[in-house]
Amino acid sequence: MLTDAWFWGSIVFEGVDDVDVAAVMAAFGTVEVVARGRLSGAECPDCGRFSERVHDHYHRRLKDLPLAEYGFVIRLVVRHFISGAAACPRRTFAEQFSRLAVP
């Protein structure tokens, strides 16, 4: 099984420009692709201000249809950013990957 990140990035994330493949693991009949945001920050959905201040991150597992005879999982590293506007009602927000999954 080919576990080259570039290969999987070009196959799995075709047309998704805001994601980079960090690692690919294949074991026990499952291919797991670890992906993270490509941009340095994100825009707050409430105030619209761009922030690069990372507060935290979490991993989100996205299961997909089997690929050939292998199970397929995307482990997406999602960052929480600190909103920089003092008047913004939202203190932190998560980066969005609308082409991969809904919030």
| pLDDT, tens digit (0-9, with 9 covering 90-100), for 45-94 | 888 899 999 999 999 988 776 777 778 888 989 999 998 788 888 889 99
Tens of pLDDT, residues 7-31: 555 566 666 677 888 888 888 888 8
pLDDT of residue 92: 92
Q: Of residues 3 and 72, which shows the higher confidence score? A: 72
Domain positions in the chain: 5-94
Of residues 75, 79, 48, the one with CA closest to residue 64: 75
Owner of token pair 């080259």: 4
Check whether 100 has a pLDDT greater than 60. yes
Write b or e for each residue in 26-36: b if 16 or more Cβ atoms lie within 10 A of its Cβ, otherwise e. eeeeebbbbbb
Contacts of 10 (CB under 8 A, 6+ apart): none
**Residue 41: what pLDDT?**
92
Burial of 40 (0-12, 13-18, 19+ CB in 10 A): exposed
| Residue 37 structure tokens | 């945001």
Say what the pLDDT of residue 16 is: 67
Q: Vertex 27, ends 59 and 5: CA angle to 5°?
A: 60
